[in-house]
Structure formats: C-alpha cells, structure tokens
A and B are shown apart, each in its own frame.
Chain A
Amino acid sequence: MQRKKILNLLTFIFLLTVLKTNAQHESSEAVQHEVTQHDEHGKALTLKEQIKADIKHHLLDSHDFHVTDYLTFPLPIILWDNGLQFFSSSKFHHGESVAESNGNYYAISHNNGHIYKTDSSGTIHYNKKGFESNEKPLDLSITKNVMMIIITSLIIFLVFSSLGKSYAKNGGIGKGPGRILEPIVLYIRDEIAIPNIGEKHYKKYMNYLLTIFFFIWFVNLFGLTPLGVNITGNIAITFSLAILTYLITTFTAKKDYWKHIFWMPGVPAPMKIILAPIELLGTFIKPFALMIRLYANMKAGHVVLMSIIGLMFLFKSWIGSPLSFGLAFGLMILELLVAALQAYIFTVLSALYFGSAAEEHEH
C-alpha cells in the first residue's frame, strides 16, 4: 500500500513538471515559432539546409531533454568557473537567450552546442577559422547524454541485481523480467569469454564483458526510440569505453604478452627489432579501432535514418511519405540488428584482447 502511494505521488509530480514546462515553453516560443528557421545572420534557410541543421542538431548532445516541441525538460547546468555555478538550463530558453549566474553571463553556441562565457548581451566571437574565441568554463553539466547514461545504468543495475537475488532465493532458478537476458549472459560466457580468453582466466573478465555488452546494447536501443538520444554516436563516450578496454588489457597482461610485443620469440634478431615498434603501435591501434568502429557505425545509422525521414519533406508529391516511411521502417529493423551486432563486436574484440593479455605460452 505504502509503495503504491509513493508511486502515485511520483506520477503526480512528474505530470506537474510536464505541464509547467509545457506552459513555459509555449508562452516563450509562441512568438518565435514560424514555419521557416533562420541562421545566425537572420537569413532564411532553404528546406534542404533546414533538414541538414536538424540532423546536425540531433547528433549533438544538448542541455535540455527535447522529446517533441511540446515536451521538453530542462536539465541542470553545472559549471566550474571561479567557483561552482549551478542553475537550470531553462535559463537559456533552448539556447536563445543569455543565462546569468552570480554576475557571470553564459550563452550556448549554435555551432557546437557548448557553453561559453559572454558579456551581458551574449555575443559569441568567432576567430578566423570560424571557431569560438570566448572563454570556455569547465562544463560538468548533466546533459541529455549523461542523463540517459545514468538511466541506463540504473536499469541495468535494477534488472540484474533483482535477477541475482532471485537465484539465491529460488535455489538456482531465476525469476522476474531479467530472465529473458539469462540466455544472453550464458552466450557471452560460453561463446565469447571461454573460447577467446580460456577456461583458466575467463572469470576475471566476465563482469567487464557483461557490463560493456549490456551497456552498449541498451544505449544503442535507446538511440532508436523517439527520445532522440545519440549516446554511442558520440566519440567521447566510445573513447572512454575503448580506454577501459585498453587499461584492463594493459594492467592484467602477463609476462608473455610483453615478451611477444618487445621480443617476439621464434623470429630472427633483426626482425625482432623491426617488429617491436610495430607491435607497440598495435596496442594503441586496437582500442582506437574499437572507438572509431562503434562511433562511426552508430552515427552513420542515425544520419541515414534522419536523411530518409527528411526525404518526406523534399519530395513534394504523394509518393514522398509512403516511400520515406517504408525505407525508414526497413532501416529501423536493420538498425535493431546493428545495435546488437555492434555491442557483440565490441565485446568479442575486447575478449580477444584480454585473451592475448592473459595467455600463457609454453615455449
């Protein structure tokens, strides 16, 4: 009973926030909402440029959670600029106006979505190459991507911890929604970890492999929902994932791994000298390829999908929308496959690298 009451209260608060943000949104945007968009210089954009700008905007991280034009949540902004600056992103009015905090003024650049320190009128200066030359505070904000990562982690934590507890309670038989994932966990253990790392050492790496698989998979799937998040299509995030794999490979490596890099056994001495720098370079290229592969695949998928939806507006005849719908539908199914495939590839390749690190040869 108690739990139900709390749930009702939470729902009520949620609805209130939505209504409040809606009201704010409509009143502030009603004036500016016209059919055509304008660029920074106030020039009207053509339809093609508008679609391009929309795709670019979608691929960027943002400071508010934009579901549709009528459902937007502000997110907290946390800046480190001579002390902590903490305020809500609703102050920016979706990047249209200047936010003031403790006597400092900040504005969002339309170019890359980053926050810059400005004067009270909010002008951003550009240098000759077209980059922003304003001072940039250290941005620790909870952006859209950060929020979705936190939500995904919570979902994974809740599903798997409840599944784990049910094993202990029911004498080895899982219960609850997490049970659908049980075959996948077994698959990762039996088909990915054991063949690539080996019976002896695989247990040490299992928790990382499972975490990375489910994290990438869930995050990719969230990218396909209308929430409009593009987390793995962000190179900073794939970079962090690849760095984790690199660090684990490097710090769990056995003597044989280093020996095979710096003094390859079984080849003539001059070749050993040539091979050592190549192998050393290889250790950096492996995680780099992991990073680029995931990032480029997800970003390319989003761009193609958005462009196909954009076709609907470019074809000015009845054929446009069924064609674009059909193509988008087919591509969406392909993207569902790619979402799982990329998570799988990342996990398999990580397991391969761990396997090479943990291997013990008997020469």
Chain B
Amino acid sequence: MNIPEIVGAGLIVIGVGIGIGRIGGSAMDAIARQPEATGKIQTAMLIAAALIEGIGFAALFAA
C-alpha cells in the first residue's frame, strides 16, 4: 500500500463515518420525540446506514 491509497481510504472512512453518524444522531432525536415510533425509525435508520455503507465499501475497494 502506498500513500495515496491510505489517504483515500482514510477520507472514505471519514465520509462514511459522518454519514452514518448523522443518521444515528437524527434517529436518536426522532426516537426521543416519538418513542412509540421506535421500531419504524430503527428500520429506516438501518436501511439508510446500509446504503451508505455499501457505497463506502465500493469506494474502499476502488482505493
């Protein structure tokens, strides 16, 4: 592994981290506001996180 690849992988991880972090935070907010909708929010959160993760992995393989 050389330096551009390592830097690229780091940038990807930062991006994916911000994305999933924001989803998680928003889901927490939503659950705090409407605890009765926890199940639905969790499902939506997992799907969105999985989609971001998929793109992140695809980029990691390219790097």
In the complex, the number of residue pairs spanning A and B with C-beta atoms less than 8 Å apart equals 32
Does A292 lie within 8 Å of B57, measured CB to CB? yes
Between B39, B54, B57, B61, the greatest number of chain A beta carbons within 10 A of the residue's beta carbon is seen for B54
Smallest Cβ-Cβ distance to A352: which chain B residue: B47
Are B58 and A341 neighbours in the complex by a CB distance under 8 Å?
A: no
Shortest Cβ gap from A281 to chain B (Å): 14
Write the nearest CB–CB distance from B29 to chain A, whole angstroms: 22
Partner of A292, one of B43, B46, B54: B54
Chain B contacts for A341, CB-based, 8 A: 46
Cβ of A289 and Cβ of B60 under 8 Å apart? no
Query: Is B55 an interface residue, CB under 8 A from the partner?
Result: yes
The answer to whether the Cβ of A308 comes within 8 Å of any Cβ in the partner chain is no
Contact among B47, B53, B54, B58 with A348 in the assembled complex (CB-CB below 8 Å): B47
Decide yes or no whether A345 CB sits under 8 A from chain B. Answer: yes
B46 interface neighbour in A288, A293, A344, Cβ under 8 Å? A344
Question: Which single residue of chain A is at the shortest CB-CB distance from B40?
Answer: A195
Whether a CB of chain A sits under 8 angstroms from the CB of B50 is: yes
A345–B57 touching, CB < 8 Å: no
Q: Is the interface of A mostly helix, strand, loop or mixed?
A: helix
Cα distance A253–B63 in the bound complex, in angstroms? 35
B3 beta carbon closer than 8 Å to chain A:
no
User: Which B residues, 11 to 56, have Cβ-Cβ distances below 8 Å to chain A?
Assistant: 39, 43, 46-47, 50-51, 53-55
| B interface footprint on A340-361 (CB within 8 Å = 1, 0 otherwise) | 0100110011001000000000
Are the CB atoms of A296 and B50 closer together than 8 Å?
A: no
Q: Which of B50, B58, B60, B61 contacts A345 (CB 8 A)?
A: B50
The answer to whether B43 and A348 have CB atoms under 8 Å apart is yes
B47 and A293 contacting across the interface, CB-CB below 8 Å: no
- Chain B residues touching A, majority SS: helix
For B50, give the chain A residue with the smallest CB separation. Answer: A345
Minimum CB distance partner of A342 in chain B: B50
Q: What is the bound-complex CA distance between A296 and B61, given in angstroms?
A: 9
Residues of B within 8 A of A297 (CB): 53, 57
Q: Is A289 in contact with B47, judged by CB distance below 8 angstroms?
A: no
A345–B55 touching, CB < 8 Å: no
Report the minimal beta-carbon distance from B45 to chain A, rounded to whole angstroms.
Answer: 12
- A100-136 to B contact mask, C-beta < 8 Å, 1/0: 0000000000000000000000000000000000000
Q: Is A191 in contact with B43, judged by CB distance below 8 angstroms?
A: yes
Is A293's CB under 8 angstroms from B54's CB?
yes
**Known contacts A289-B55, A292-B54, A293-B54: does B60 contact A349 (CB below 8 Å)?**
no
Shortest distance between the CB of A209 and any CB in chain B (Å): 15
Q: Are B43 and A349 in contact (CB under 8 A)?
A: no
Q: Within residues 307 to 352 of chain A, which ones have a CB less than 8 A from any CB in chain B?
A: 341, 344-345, 348-349, 352
Instruction: Please determine whether A296 and B60 come into contact, CB atoms closer than 8 angstroms.
Output: yes
Report 8 cross-chain contacts, Cβ distance below 8 Å, ordered by A residue. A191-B39, A289-B51, A289-B54, A289-B58, A293-B53, A341-B46, A345-B46, A345-B50
**Additional pairs, 19, CB under 8 Å, beyond known A191-B39, A289-B54:** A191-B43, A288-B58, A289-B58, A290-B54, A292-B57, A292-B61, A293-B50, A293-B53, A293-B54, A293-B57, A296-B61, A297-B57, A345-B46, A345-B47, A345-B50, A348-B43, A348-B47, A349-B47, A349-B50
Residues of B bordering A, CB below 8 Å? 39, 43, 46-47, 50-51, 53-55, 57-58, 60-61
Top 10 closest A-B pairs, CB basis? Answer: A296-B57, A289-B54, A293-B54, A345-B50, A292-B57, A292-B58, A348-B47, A292-B54, A293-B57, A293-B53
